[in-house]
Structure 1
Amino acid sequence: MDEFDLLFTTYRGGERRAASEMARFLRDLGDESADIEITEFPGLLLARTPADPFELIEHLRGIAEEEPWRIRSILRVVPVEITTDASIQSVVQAARGLASKIGGDETYRVDVEKRGSSLSGRELIDAVASAIDRKVKLESPDWIVMVEIVGDRAGVSVLREVDVFSSVKAKRDRGNRADINARPADSSP
């Protein structure tokens, strides 16, 4: 798939179930004909949709909170803002274009996930970081410049941590809130 708006993962062997599950969630948002591709990389899928990827993330969070059993196969969903060639120059250009989202006093880090590419992750991180005139912070930055390389294509996004959906984390957080709410009040004097 040359252009994609979503990259999502599942368990190895769960690709067909994850594709059907994603199609259902996208239908909830009005997309009756999403283009979903199971890649050659185990557990990795791509989708092209007219639905807003960030709206999908919020929709998935709501489902994880209210009906967590509906999310069975999808593990992680990353919105993709720009799809480009998987070359350092193209990725840097895309990241530079999206970097205006990062305020002058805000921080960021660059995350690179490579699949089927011989590009150097270190070189790519260094090139992107040198093109963005903001402060880098590796732990708890305000923004993440996410580069997802799939073969000869790259998906680039500038995201807040909450813009990436993890079903495992969402369900764990929901469980932790339920545990806190279920604890009896301390009756000691």
Structure 2
Amino acid sequence: MFNLLVTTPRFREEKAVEELLDLLSGIYVAKDIEIKLTNISGLITCYIKEDPFKIVEKFKEILRESPWTFRYILRVIPIEIVLETKPDVLEKEILALVDDRISADQTYKILIEKRHSNLRSSDIIKQIASKICFKVNLTRPDWMILIEILGPVSGISLLKEYQIFSSVLEKRNINKDGIEKDL
């Protein structure tokens, strides 16, 4: 079980786990945090008894105040539902999320990040998109349907692009905005 997916450079997983634990322990009680290395290089899962979207926002705040706090964590992705990697199961849960949140005038795109799976991304996208009646926009969608396939399990989220934390992009934005000149 996880509600955050954390990426790091390959072979830096242990350092990223320490960094993640330090960051989360500064905000939450350590016993409420469960961090696991995966068998996928550069990928860590985390479960915390908190809204994962709030964690992403908190990490953005921390980075703005102290950019070099993030040395090993590259991205933090909030995950809403963890389920079995079967196209029909993915379709059912994604359609439920879409029905709850996307309105008729909004656009979407489906993004699949696939690891340790022989499923074809194009087949999954076709199966799901054929059941969604909203407009597709691949460049600037209102919503992103994110499917993170990790072998036999997958994490899915319906989110806005800014709801994914990227330490590299956040640092670049700070520098561009002139908030912090000496990065």
Cross-structure match for 2:119: 119
- TM-score if structure 2 supplies the norm length? 0.93
What amino acid does structure 2 have at the position aligned with 1:72? Answer: R
**How many angstroms does 1:129 deviate by?**
1.2
Distance 1:81 1:26 in 2: 19
1:25 partnered with 2:23: yes
Is the 8 Å Cα contact of residues 26 and 51 (structure 1) preserved in structure 2? no
Distance 2:102 2:6 in 1: 25
Distance 1:67 1:30 in 2: 18
Distance 1:93 1:169 in 2: 33
Q: Deviations over 1:28-63 (max 9, x none)?
A: 332413111111111011111112211111111111
Distance 2:24 2:90 in 1: 27
Q: Deviations over 1:1-42 (max 9, x none)?
A: xx2101110011110111111122222332413111111111
Cross-structure match for 2:4: 6
**How many angstroms does 1:103 deviate by?**
1.6
Is the 8 Å Cα contact of residues 145 and 157 (structure 1) preserved in structure 2? yes
Percentage identity across aligned positions?
35
When the two structures are aligned, how many residues end up with a matched partner?
179
- Deviation above 4 Å: which 4+ runs of structure 1? none
**How many angstroms does 1:158 deviate by?**
0.2
- TM-score if structure 1 supplies the norm length? 0.90
Is the 8 Å Cα contact of residues 31 and 51 (structure 1) preserved in structure 2? no
Cross-structure match for 2:47: 48
* Rg (Cα) greater in structure: 1
- Structure 1: gaps (5+ residues): 183-189
What amino acid does structure 1 have at the position aligned with 2:6? Answer: F
Cross-structure match for 1:133: 133
Please state whether the residue corresponding to 1:41 is helix, strand or coil.
coil
Distance 2:20 2:130 in 1: 36
Give the RMSD, CA atoms, in angstroms.
Answer: 1.4
1:66-77 matched pairs, under 5 angstroms: 66-77=65-76
Cross-structure match for 2:92: 93
